[in-house]
C-alpha cells in the first residue's frame, strides 16, 4: 500500500513583509519627548541589535541630528 504525502501545498499569495516598528516607535517617542539624551531600556533586544535597528531607522528618516551611542550594555539616543 502506498503512503500518502507528508505535506500539502496550498495556493496563496505571498504576504508583504512585516518589519518591526519598535525602532521607529522608539525614535518617534524620543523626538516628541524633547529630551536631550535618553537611555533605551526594557526592549528585550541585545544591545548590538538595538543599536543597529535604531541607526537604520535614523538613517532612513534622515535624522542626522540624533546619534545612537552604546556604553557597555546600555544604549542611548542623543540629540547633537
The pLDDT, as a whole number, for residue 52 is: 96
| Annotated domain spans of the chain | 22-79
The pLDDT, as a whole number, for residue 2 is: 61
pTM: 0.74
The pLDDT, as a whole number, for residue 49 is: 94
> Which tens digits make up the pLDDT trace of 13-71?
988 776 668 999 999 999 999 999 999 999 999 999 999 999 999 999 999 999 999 99
- Which CATH number among 2.60.40, 3.30.870, 1.10.10, 3.40.50 corresponds to the domain 22-79? 1.10.10
Residue 1 has pLDDT above 60, yes or no: no
Q: What is the crossing angle of helices 47-60 and 22-33, to 10°?
A: 70
Maximum Cα interatomic distance, the chain, rounded to a whole number of Å: 73
Amino acid at each position: 500500500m502506498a503512503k500518502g504525502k507528508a505535506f500539502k501545498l496550498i495556493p496563496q499569495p505571498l504576504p508583504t513583509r512585516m518589519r518591526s516598528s519598535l525602532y521607529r516607535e522608539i525614535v518617534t517617542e524620543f523626538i516628541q519627548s524633547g529630551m536631550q539624551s535618553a537611555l533605551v531600556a526594557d526592549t528585550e533586544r541585545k544591545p548590538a541589535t538595538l543599536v543597529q535597528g535604531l541607526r537604520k531607522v535614523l538613517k532612513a528618516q534622515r535624522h542626522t541630528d540624533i546619534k545612537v551611542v552604546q556604553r557597555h550594555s546600555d544604549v542611548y539616543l542623543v540629540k547633537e
